[in-house]
Amino acid sequence: MHEYLVNAAKLTGVGLPALEEASKTSRQLLSKYKKVLKDEFSKALPEGLEKTDIVILGSIAREESSSNSDCDYYVLQHGAPPNTTRKLIMAVGKKLTSFGVRKPGAQGVFGDIVVAANLYESIGLELDSNANMTQRILLLSESKPITEGTAHAEVIDNILSRYCADYLPPNCEKDSPPRVPRYLLNDLIRYWRTMAVDFGTKRWRDGDSYLRLAKLRITRKILFAGPLATVLLAPNKIETNNELQSYLKESLAAPPLAQLARHTDLLDDDSRKAMGILLQNYDEFIGILSGKQRSVLEGKGSAKSREGLKKQCRAIGDKIQSSLEQIFYKDPLFKESFQKYAVF
């Protein structure tokens, strides 16, 4: 389990057994995927392999997975020959299928080749599709390479360089006082709102899925809240804007929940209590997703058991919402910057 979560659990006096187990499972899966891909290319490495990476996203990258979890991935193309990316996408699909892993969804966001330049050259305007924005934000906030990782690191650097350009020369004086990076902040907010709107469309089109709703209210909300905390606290964590890009890269590398929990020691007593409630309830939900109850949320089992579990998840979501409101709306650490930047 990430050190930020370990420290937050100690400070708030809560246990996180489901998250501890999920972290072990996630690391084991990543290690296994790395090994089988290394074995796949042990005889002959594809040409230009250092210019591409297989990137794992979702619950495995967040260290929240179980044997029931999907495996979201894409091949990040950063200048490798087309035949190399073709070999990688075929290899990862074949190997993951052999493990019994469920394939990514059909929305075109995962399970395909992603051209890296689109992620940092096409930010905003018409070319920045929902898929492109999602691939970019998730690369920053919940991604792990299972190949060498060179392309993964370079593309993250390029994305952050684009987001931070307004705060460095010639757009800003050298060693200027740090500010909240609005460019990145606005994209995070846009991503969260897009997730919510897309959920409404999927529910209207496909019918009700309580698992999808529960994820939106809990795991997806923390996927937004963690990087939001990182971005809003930039002026508190660095001395000049020259440090902004390195601060963002280091902070965003932690799982979203860990990014939020990182600041537990700086919260007042009420907010620290709220953080404990949030962590405990999040752990409870990860336990549900990791066990047999997940299938009940997917629509299996009796109506009675489904209604009982829905009620439990609603209560978890409500407590997490109340905790986030306390932390972001009322705590002195976040209150002023949240009011100034997060809405208007």
Segment 58-97, tens digit of pLDDT: 999 999 988 777 788 999 999 999 988 888 888 887 777 6
Top-confidence range, 2-6, 77-81, 195-199, 201-205: 2-6
- Position with higher pLDDT, 283 vs 111: 283
Q: Which of 48-57, 153-162, 269-278 has the lowest mean pLDDT?
A: 48-57
pLDDT band at 258; cut points 50, 70, 90? very high
Does the pLDDT value for residue 198 go beyond 80?
A: yes
> How many CB atoms within 10 Å of residue 322?
14
Query: Percentage of residues in the chain with pLDDT exceeding 70?
Result: 96
Determine the Cα–Cα distance for residues 136 and 183; give it in Å rounded to an integer. 14
Q: Which pLDDT value is given to residue 208? A: 66
**Choice between 141 and 48, residue whose per-residue pLDDT is larger:** 141
Pairing of strands 143-145, 72-77: unpaired
CB-facing half-sphere around the CA of 265: CA atoms within 13 A: 6
Q: What does the pLDDT read at residue 103?
A: 60
pLDDT band per the 50, 70, 90 thresholds, residue 286: very high
How many Cβ atoms from other residues are within 10 Å of residue 158's Cβ?
16
Residue (of 63, 141, 146, 135) closest to 104 by Cα position: 135
Tokens of residue 198, six digits: 């897309």
Residue 262 φ then ψ, to 5°? -55, -30
* Residue 198 or residue 12, greater confidence: 12
**pLDDT higher at 103 or 186:** 186
pTM of the shown model: 0.92
Tell me the C-alpha distance between 7 and 260, whole Å.
12
Measured in whole angstroms, the distance separating CA 79 from the mean position of its chain's CA atoms is 25
The C-alpha atoms of residue 69 and residue 65 are separated, in whole angstroms, by: 6
Please report, to the nearest 10 degrees, the dihedral formed by the alpha carbons of residues 230, 233, 239, 242 taken in order: 40
Residue 323 has pLDDT above 70, yes or no: yes
Residue 105 has pLDDT above 70, yes or no: no
Give the pLDDT score at 196: 93
pLDDT of residue 306 exceeding 70? yes
> Within 13 Å, how many C-alpha atoms sit on residue 101's CB side?
26
d(Cα 288, Cα 13) in Å, to the nearest integer? Answer: 22
Residue-level pLDDT at 300: 75
Kindly state the DSSP code that residue 173 receives in the 8-state scheme.
-
Average pLDDT score over residue span 323-341: 96
227, HSE (Cβ side, Cα atoms, 13 Å): 27
Mean pLDDT of 209-218: 89
- Please name the residues in contact with 225: beta carbons below 8 A apart, sequence gap of 6 or more: 256, 260, 324, 328
- The winner for highest mean pLDDT among 93-107, 263-277, 285-299 is 263-277
pLDDT for 102 equals: 60
Question: Where residue 101 falls among pLDDT bands split at 50, 70, 90?
Answer: low
**What does the pLDDT average to over 137-157?**
95
Task: Please write the tens of the pLDDT for every residue from 148-174.
Answer: 899 999 999 999 999 999 988 888 888
Instruction: Tell me the mean pLDDT in the region 137-153.
Output: 94
Helix (H, G, I), strand (E, B) or coil at 77: strand
Q: Report the pLDDT averaged over residues 291-308.
A: 77
Report the mean per-residue pLDDT for the chain.
90
Long-range contacts of 160-167 (CB under 8 A, 24+ apart): 160/184, 160/245, 160/248, 160/249, 161/120, 161/245, 162/120, 162/123, 163/123, 163/187, 163/248, 164/241, 164/244, 164/245, 164/248, 167/241, 167/244
Cα gap 152→211, rounded to integer Å = 31
Q: What is the mean pLDDT of residues 189-193?
A: 96
Per the listing, tokens 């990145």 go with 184
| DSSP-assigned letters across all residues of 85-117 | HHHHHHHHHHHHHHTTPPPP-TTSSSSSEEEHH
What is the rounded average pLDDT of the residues 239-244? 93
Residue 272 has pLDDT above 70, yes or no: yes
